[in-house]
Chain A
Amino acid sequence: KAGVTQTPRYLIKTRGQQVTLSCSPISGHRSVSWYQQTPGQGLQFLFEYFSETQRNKGNFPGRFSGRQFSNSRSEMNVSTLELGDSALYLCASSLEGLAGGGLSETQYFGPGTRLLVL
């Protein structure tokens, strides 16, 4: 099975622009999560989608948004980019996602998209 793929791998933008990142999960996986990794804040959860519905959202401003398509592919969008948005954006997929009550799923991560905002 092919792993999680993310495009593009590298991106350079300027402040005020917007950007769209794409994630293709492992075939058969219906849950896609997004994480931001920076040297200062570490790995932080952005949001999680399951069957085209956002189930959870992290503490990020409304400039960060996402969606999931019927084939489980997901995109995240960042509008009005700021210097602090420079980061490695990681996508993870799993069969059903993490769920309460003891049902747990391994999250498989993609290689990430490295975004640099100038």
Chain B
Amino acid sequence: SQQGEEDPQALSIQEGENATMNCSYKTSINNLQWYRQNSGRGLVHLILIRSNEREKHSGRLRVTLDTSKKSSSLLITASRAADTASYFCATDRAGGYNKLIFGAGTRLAVHP
């Protein structure tokens, strides 16, 4: 079963615009990670945010985490055509379960 749910399911924007994706989850977590996947290939790790952190930046990426609402958001600023991919959030559930639980993903299309 999936812990996380992303919205929107699909997002279409123009180059230069910002893209925001949201993720909600159900249980207490140790951390939340965001991954990118291009056309059914392997997952590329983007950023990890721990449960005691509220915001994290990496280049054009900004991730926020609200543990009271059990939600996270990924913001990609000044998007590029190369950002076209599926984006997944994955949670490391508190309690030592040793596995990531993934959401269904957001398909982002950035048009030149």
Hey, which bits of chain A sit against chain B, CB under 8 A? Answer: 4, 31, 33, 35, 37, 42-45, 48, 50, 55-56, 58, 88, 90, 92, 97-104, 106-112, 114
Contacts and interface: CB of A to CB of B under 8 A. Distances in A.
Interface of B: 2, 30-31, 33, 35, 40-45, 48, 50-51, 88, 90, 92, 94-105
B94 A109 contact: no
A48 B98 contact: yes
B88 A43 contact: yes
B43 A109 contact: yes
A107 B14 CA distance: 31
A100 to B, nearest CB: 3
A92 B43 CA distance: 9
A98 B35 contact: no
A114 B105 CA distance: 19
Contact of B40 (A88, A92, A108, A109): A88
Given A108-B45, A114-B40, A100 B31 contact: no
